[in-house]
Protein backbone atom coordinates (compact mmCIF):
# COMPACT_ATOMS: atom_id res chain seq x y z
CA UNK A 1 0.00 0.00 0.00
CA UNK A 2 1.38 3.39 -0.97
CA UNK A 3 2.04 6.36 1.24
CA UNK A 4 3.98 9.57 0.67
CA UNK A 5 7.35 7.85 1.02
CA UNK A 6 6.72 4.53 -0.70
CA UNK A 7 6.20 3.65 -4.32
CA UNK A 8 4.70 0.45 -5.72
CA UNK A 9 5.93 -3.11 -5.49
CA UNK A 10 9.16 -3.82 -7.38
CA UNK A 11 12.40 -5.65 -6.57
CA UNK A 12 15.70 -5.55 -8.48
CA UNK A 13 18.28 -8.34 -8.25
CA UNK A 14 21.74 -7.32 -9.43
CA UNK A 15 24.56 -9.74 -10.27
CA UNK A 16 27.75 -8.21 -11.65
CA UNK A 17 26.51 -5.86 -14.40
CA UNK A 18 23.18 -7.64 -14.91
CA UNK A 19 19.86 -6.51 -13.43
CA UNK A 20 16.68 -8.54 -13.07
CA UNK A 21 13.46 -6.77 -12.07
CA UNK A 22 10.45 -8.42 -10.43
CA UNK A 23 7.17 -6.50 -10.84
CA UNK A 24 6.65 -2.88 -11.81
CA UNK A 25 4.22 -1.21 -9.40
CA UNK A 26 3.36 2.49 -9.23
CA UNK A 27 6.51 4.57 -9.67
CA UNK A 28 8.82 1.59 -10.14
CA UNK A 29 10.37 2.92 -13.34
CA UNK A 30 11.33 6.16 -11.60
CA UNK A 31 12.84 4.23 -8.70
CA UNK A 32 14.83 2.14 -11.20
CA UNK A 33 16.21 5.37 -12.64
CA UNK A 34 17.22 6.47 -9.12
CA UNK A 35 18.73 3.13 -8.13
CA UNK A 36 22.12 3.61 -9.77
CA UNK A 37 21.88 0.17 -11.36
CA UNK A 38 22.31 1.58 -14.85
CA UNK A 39 25.33 3.44 -16.25
CA UNK A 40 25.45 7.10 -15.23
CA UNK A 41 25.16 8.64 -18.67
CA UNK A 42 22.69 11.38 -17.80
CA UNK A 43 21.05 10.59 -21.12
CA UNK A 44 18.48 7.92 -20.26
CA UNK A 45 19.93 4.57 -19.21
CA UNK A 46 17.46 3.09 -16.69
CA UNK A 47 17.12 -0.08 -18.78
CA UNK A 48 20.67 -0.30 -20.09
CA UNK A 49 21.69 -3.08 -17.66
CA UNK A 50 18.33 -4.84 -17.34
CA UNK A 51 18.41 -8.41 -18.60
CA UNK A 52 14.96 -9.57 -17.56
CA UNK A 53 11.61 -8.42 -16.14
CA UNK A 54 9.42 -10.90 -14.25
CA UNK A 55 5.79 -10.42 -13.27
CA UNK A 56 4.45 -12.39 -10.32
CA UNK A 57 0.82 -11.77 -11.30
CA UNK A 58 -1.13 -9.20 -13.24
CA UNK A 59 -2.83 -7.14 -10.54
CA UNK A 60 -2.42 -3.45 -11.30
CA UNK A 61 -0.34 -2.69 -8.19
CA UNK A 62 2.35 -5.00 -9.66
CA UNK A 63 2.09 -4.03 -13.34
CA UNK A 64 0.97 -0.43 -13.67
CA UNK A 65 4.48 0.78 -14.57
CA UNK A 66 4.81 -1.85 -17.30
CA UNK A 67 2.99 0.50 -19.71
CA UNK A 68 5.51 3.20 -18.76
CA UNK A 69 8.47 0.89 -19.23
CA UNK A 70 7.17 -0.52 -22.50
CA UNK A 71 6.25 2.87 -23.96
CA UNK A 72 9.44 4.81 -23.13
CA UNK A 73 11.91 1.94 -22.93
CA UNK A 74 13.55 2.75 -26.26
CA UNK A 75 14.47 6.20 -24.90
CA UNK A 76 16.18 4.76 -21.82
CA UNK A 77 18.78 2.33 -23.19
CA UNK A 78 21.79 4.58 -23.78
CA UNK A 79 24.91 2.41 -23.63
CA UNK A 80 22.99 -0.86 -23.88
CA UNK A 81 24.85 -3.59 -25.78
CA UNK A 82 22.77 -6.68 -24.90
CA UNK A 83 19.93 -8.10 -26.94
CA UNK A 84 16.24 -7.75 -26.06
CA UNK A 85 15.08 -7.59 -22.46
CA UNK A 86 13.40 -10.91 -21.67
CA UNK A 87 9.96 -10.42 -20.07
CA UNK A 88 8.23 -13.29 -18.28
CA UNK A 89 4.80 -13.45 -16.70
CA UNK A 90 1.54 -15.33 -16.32
CA UNK A 91 -0.14 -16.79 -19.36
CA UNK A 92 -3.80 -16.20 -20.10
CA UNK A 93 -6.31 -18.30 -18.19
CA UNK A 94 -9.42 -19.90 -19.62
CA UNK A 95 -11.78 -19.22 -16.73
CA UNK A 96 -12.97 -16.10 -14.97
CA UNK A 97 -12.48 -15.91 -11.21
CA UNK A 98 -15.37 -16.96 -9.03
CA UNK A 99 -17.84 -14.38 -7.70
CA UNK A 100 -17.92 -13.79 -3.94
CA UNK A 101 -20.22 -14.24 -2.21
CA UNK A 102 -21.62 -16.84 -4.61
CA UNK A 103 -25.15 -15.52 -4.07
CA UNK A 104 -24.20 -12.18 -5.62
CA UNK A 105 -25.17 -11.65 -9.27
CA UNK A 106 -22.16 -11.86 -11.57
CA UNK A 107 -21.01 -8.42 -12.72
CA UNK A 108 -20.65 -7.53 -16.38
CA UNK A 109 -17.43 -8.90 -17.87
CA UNK A 110 -14.80 -6.36 -18.85
CA UNK A 111 -13.48 -6.95 -22.39
CA UNK A 112 -15.38 -10.20 -22.99
CA UNK A 113 -13.33 -10.92 -26.11
CA UNK A 114 -10.19 -11.31 -23.97
CA UNK A 115 -11.25 -11.11 -20.30
CA UNK A 116 -8.25 -12.82 -18.65
CA UNK A 117 -5.20 -11.93 -20.76
CA UNK A 118 -1.67 -13.01 -19.95
CA UNK A 119 1.44 -10.86 -20.20
CA UNK A 120 1.76 -11.38 -23.98
CA UNK A 121 -1.81 -10.38 -24.71
CA UNK A 122 -1.63 -7.51 -22.24
CA UNK A 123 1.44 -6.19 -24.07
CA UNK A 124 -0.32 -6.53 -27.43
CA UNK A 125 -3.06 -4.28 -26.06
CA UNK A 126 -0.42 -1.76 -24.95
CA UNK A 127 1.15 -1.79 -28.41
CA UNK A 128 -2.19 -0.90 -29.94
CA UNK A 129 -2.94 1.75 -27.31
CA UNK A 130 0.38 3.55 -27.91
CA UNK A 131 0.40 3.07 -31.69
CA UNK A 132 0.35 6.80 -32.47
CA UNK A 133 3.35 7.47 -30.26
CA UNK A 134 5.30 4.49 -31.58
CA UNK A 135 4.60 5.34 -35.23
CA UNK A 136 5.60 8.97 -34.67
CA UNK A 137 8.91 8.02 -33.10
CA UNK A 138 9.69 5.23 -35.53
CA UNK A 139 9.07 7.47 -38.55
CA UNK A 140 10.41 10.77 -37.23
CA UNK A 141 13.30 9.84 -34.91
CA UNK A 142 14.14 6.24 -35.89
CA UNK A 143 13.74 5.03 -32.29
CA UNK A 144 13.71 1.25 -31.89
CA UNK A 145 10.37 -0.52 -32.10
CA UNK A 146 9.47 -1.76 -28.58
CA UNK A 147 9.04 -5.24 -30.05
CA UNK A 148 12.78 -5.27 -30.75
CA UNK A 149 13.62 -4.18 -27.18
CA UNK A 150 11.31 -6.51 -25.24
CA UNK A 151 10.84 -10.23 -25.88
CA UNK A 152 7.68 -11.41 -24.12
CA UNK A 153 7.18 -14.91 -22.70
CA UNK A 154 4.05 -16.44 -21.18
CA UNK A 155 5.04 -18.95 -18.51
CA UNK A 156 3.33 -22.20 -19.47
CA UNK A 157 1.39 -23.63 -16.52
CA UNK A 158 -0.63 -26.13 -18.56
CA UNK A 159 1.48 -29.14 -17.59
CA UNK A 160 0.98 -28.60 -13.86
CA UNK A 161 -2.41 -26.93 -13.46
CA UNK A 162 -5.72 -26.44 -15.16
CA UNK A 163 -6.94 -23.31 -13.40
CA UNK A 164 -10.46 -23.33 -12.01
CA UNK A 165 -12.51 -20.32 -10.82
CA UNK A 166 -11.32 -20.72 -7.21
CA UNK A 167 -7.68 -20.29 -8.27
CA UNK A 168 -6.04 -22.34 -5.48
CA UNK A 169 -2.86 -23.86 -6.94
CA UNK A 170 -1.75 -27.47 -6.48
CA UNK A 171 1.39 -28.51 -4.61
CA UNK A 172 4.27 -28.76 -7.08
CA UNK A 173 6.84 -31.53 -6.96
CA UNK A 174 9.54 -29.35 -8.50
CA UNK A 175 10.06 -25.70 -9.42
CA UNK A 176 9.22 -24.39 -12.87
CA UNK A 177 12.30 -23.73 -15.00
CA UNK A 178 12.00 -20.17 -16.34
CA UNK A 179 15.35 -18.99 -17.71
CA UNK A 180 19.08 -19.70 -17.68
CA UNK A 181 21.00 -16.48 -18.27
CA UNK A 182 24.66 -17.42 -18.14
CA UNK A 183 25.49 -17.98 -14.46
CA UNK A 184 22.03 -16.86 -13.31
CA UNK A 185 19.27 -19.47 -13.01
CA UNK A 186 15.67 -18.32 -12.65
CA UNK A 187 13.02 -20.72 -11.39
CA UNK A 188 9.44 -20.15 -10.26
CA UNK A 189 6.62 -21.75 -8.36
CA UNK A 190 2.88 -21.30 -8.12
CA UNK A 191 1.90 -19.29 -5.06
CA UNK A 192 -1.57 -18.91 -3.59
CA UNK A 193 -3.16 -15.52 -4.23
CA UNK A 194 -6.58 -16.95 -4.97
CA UNK A 195 -8.73 -16.35 -6.80
CA UNK A 196 -6.06 -14.55 -8.84
CA UNK A 197 -4.18 -17.16 -10.84
CA UNK A 198 -1.65 -17.99 -11.96
CA UNK A 199 0.55 -16.15 -9.47
CA UNK A 200 4.26 -16.86 -9.17
CA UNK A 201 7.16 -16.57 -6.79
CA UNK A 202 10.63 -16.41 -8.36
CA UNK A 203 14.06 -17.63 -7.29
CA UNK A 204 17.35 -16.24 -8.64
CA UNK A 205 20.42 -18.43 -8.08
CA UNK A 206 23.80 -16.85 -8.80
CA UNK A 207 27.43 -17.58 -7.84
CA UNK A 208 27.02 -14.86 -5.19
CA UNK A 209 23.94 -16.40 -3.58
CA UNK A 210 20.20 -16.81 -3.96
CA UNK A 211 17.23 -14.45 -3.72
CA UNK A 212 13.55 -15.40 -3.69
CA UNK A 213 10.68 -12.96 -4.31
CA UNK A 214 7.28 -14.17 -3.15
CA UNK A 215 4.86 -11.97 -5.03
CA UNK A 216 1.44 -11.82 -3.37
CA UNK A 217 0.51 -14.99 -1.51
CA UNK A 218 -0.86 -16.48 1.65
CA UNK A 219 1.37 -18.99 3.46
CA UNK A 220 2.39 -21.27 0.58
CA UNK A 221 4.18 -24.60 0.85
CA UNK A 222 5.23 -24.20 -2.78
CA UNK A 223 6.94 -20.93 -1.85
CA UNK A 224 8.60 -22.48 1.20
CA UNK A 225 9.95 -25.25 -1.04
CA UNK A 226 11.25 -22.72 -3.57
CA UNK A 227 12.92 -20.60 -0.87
CA UNK A 228 14.66 -23.49 0.90
CA UNK A 229 18.10 -22.31 2.07
CA UNK A 230 17.98 -18.99 0.19
CA UNK A 231 20.17 -16.11 1.27
CA UNK A 232 17.32 -13.59 1.06
CA UNK A 233 13.56 -14.05 0.93
CA UNK A 234 11.69 -10.91 -0.15
CA UNK A 235 8.15 -11.56 1.03
CA UNK A 236 4.90 -9.61 1.14
CA UNK A 237 3.27 -8.90 4.51
CA UNK A 238 -0.01 -7.46 5.77
CA UNK A 239 -1.06 -6.23 9.21
CA UNK A 240 -4.39 -7.83 10.24
CA UNK A 241 -5.13 -4.83 12.47
CA UNK A 242 -5.18 -2.71 9.32
CA UNK A 243 -7.62 -5.10 7.68
CA UNK A 244 -10.04 -4.54 10.53
CA UNK A 245 -9.65 -0.76 10.35
CA UNK A 246 -10.15 -0.78 6.60
CA UNK A 247 -13.17 -3.04 6.47
CA UNK A 248 -14.84 -1.19 9.34
CA UNK A 249 -14.97 1.84 7.03
CA UNK A 250 -16.61 -0.02 4.14
CA UNK A 251 -20.24 -0.94 3.52
CA UNK A 252 -20.98 -4.58 4.46
CA UNK A 253 -21.42 -5.71 0.85
CA UNK A 254 -17.84 -4.61 0.16
CA UNK A 255 -16.28 -5.18 3.60
CA UNK A 256 -16.87 -8.94 3.69
CA UNK A 257 -15.27 -9.73 0.28
CA UNK A 258 -12.34 -7.40 1.02
CA UNK A 259 -11.74 -8.96 4.46
CA UNK A 260 -11.89 -12.47 3.01
CA UNK A 261 -9.42 -11.69 0.24
CA UNK A 262 -6.91 -9.86 2.42
CA UNK A 263 -6.88 -12.50 5.14
CA UNK A 264 -6.95 -15.56 2.89
CA UNK A 265 -4.68 -14.43 0.05
CA UNK A 266 -1.92 -12.54 1.89
CA UNK A 267 0.53 -13.33 4.70
CA UNK A 268 0.21 -11.64 8.09
CA UNK A 269 2.89 -10.29 10.40
CA UNK A 270 2.34 -13.19 12.76
CA UNK A 271 2.69 -15.79 10.00
CA UNK A 272 5.60 -14.58 7.92
CA UNK A 273 8.57 -15.38 10.15
CA UNK A 274 7.19 -18.38 12.00
CA UNK A 275 5.32 -20.13 9.19
CA UNK A 276 7.33 -19.21 6.08
CA UNK A 277 10.87 -17.93 6.61
CA UNK A 278 11.81 -20.30 9.44
CA UNK A 279 10.57 -23.51 7.76
CA UNK A 280 12.34 -22.43 4.57
CA UNK A 281 15.61 -21.91 6.45
CA UNK A 282 16.37 -18.57 4.80
CA UNK A 283 19.15 -16.39 6.17
CA UNK A 284 17.44 -13.02 5.73
CA UNK A 285 13.76 -12.15 5.54
CA UNK A 286 13.05 -8.83 3.83
CA UNK A 287 9.51 -7.53 4.27
CA UNK A 288 8.03 -6.06 1.11
CA UNK A 289 4.64 -4.96 -0.20
CA UNK A 290 3.94 -3.70 3.32
CA UNK A 291 0.25 -3.10 4.01
CA UNK A 292 -0.24 -0.50 5.35
CA UNK A 293 2.77 1.47 4.21
CA UNK A 294 2.68 3.86 7.16
CA UNK A 295 2.93 1.30 9.98
CA UNK A 296 5.60 2.10 12.59
CA UNK A 297 8.73 -0.12 12.34
CA UNK A 298 7.96 -1.58 15.76
CA UNK A 299 4.84 -3.16 14.34
CA UNK A 300 6.70 -4.82 11.47
CA UNK A 301 9.44 -6.08 13.81
CA UNK A 302 6.90 -8.50 15.25
CA UNK A 303 7.58 -10.57 12.14
CA UNK A 304 10.80 -11.67 13.88
CA UNK A 305 8.78 -13.89 16.24
CA UNK A 306 9.45 -17.51 15.39
CA UNK A 307 12.24 -16.65 12.95
CA UNK A 308 15.90 -17.18 13.84
CA UNK A 309 17.43 -15.30 10.89
CA UNK A 310 17.87 -11.61 10.14
CA UNK A 311 14.84 -9.40 9.55
CA UNK A 312 14.90 -6.40 7.21
CA UNK A 313 11.99 -3.98 6.90
CA UNK A 314 11.84 -2.99 3.25
CA UNK A 315 12.16 0.61 2.15
CA UNK A 316 12.34 2.18 -1.30
CA UNK A 317 15.87 1.90 -2.76
CA UNK A 318 17.10 -0.22 0.16
CA UNK A 319 20.12 -2.40 -0.73
CA UNK A 320 20.60 -5.88 0.77
CA UNK A 321 24.05 -7.34 0.00
CA UNK A 322 24.21 -11.06 -0.80
CA UNK A 323 27.09 -13.53 -0.89
CA UNK A 324 30.45 -12.06 -1.89
CA UNK A 325 29.01 -8.54 -1.72
CA UNK A 326 27.85 -9.21 1.85
CA UNK A 327 31.21 -10.62 2.93
CA UNK A 328 33.19 -7.71 1.50
CA UNK A 329 30.84 -4.90 2.56
- Residue 290 makes CB contacts below 8 A (sequence gap 6+) with 1, 6, 237, 300, 313, 314
For domain 11-328, the CATH architecture is 4-Layer Sandwich (3.60)
Q: Which pLDDT score, from 0 to 100, does residue 328 have?
A: 43
Nearest to 165 by CA among 88, 231, 96: 96
Kindly state the greatest CA–CA separation across the chain: 60
Peptide bond into 101 cis (omega under 30): yes
Angle at CA 132, nearest 5°, toward 129 and 136?
145
Give pLDDT < 70 ranges for the chain: 1-4, 324-329
Nearest to 150 by CA among 79, 213, 77: 77
Q: Which pLDDT score, from 0 to 100, does residue 329 have?
A: 43
Write the burial class of residue 172 (CB in 10 Å: 0-12 exposed, 13-18 middle, 19+ buried): middle
The count of other CB atoms within 10 Å of the CB of residue 293 is 15
Break the chain into its structural domains and give their ranges.
Answer: 11-328
Residue range 95-126, pLDDT digits in tens: 999 999 888 899 999 999 999 999 999 999 99
pTM for the full model?
0.95
Write the burial class of residue 81 (CB in 10 Å: 0-12 exposed, 13-18 middle, 19+ buried): exposed
Q: Which pLDDT score, from 0 to 100, does residue 178 have?
A: 98
Residue range 53-105, pLDDT digits in tens: 999 999 999 999 999 999 999 999 998 888 999 999 999 999 999 999 888 89
**CB–CB of 97/107 below 8 Å?**
no
> Alpha carbon of 264 to those of 10, 142, 260, 271: distances in Å?
22, 49, 6, 12
Amino acid sequence: MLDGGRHGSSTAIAFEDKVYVVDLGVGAFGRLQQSGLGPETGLGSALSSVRGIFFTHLHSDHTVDWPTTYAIGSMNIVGRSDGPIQVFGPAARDTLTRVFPPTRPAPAVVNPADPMPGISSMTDHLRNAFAQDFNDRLRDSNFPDPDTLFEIHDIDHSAVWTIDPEGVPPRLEAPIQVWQDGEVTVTATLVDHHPTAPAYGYRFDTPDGSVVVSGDTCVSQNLIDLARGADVLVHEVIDPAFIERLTASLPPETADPVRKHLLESHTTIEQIGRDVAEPAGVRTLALSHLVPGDNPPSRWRRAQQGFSGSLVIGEDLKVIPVGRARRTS
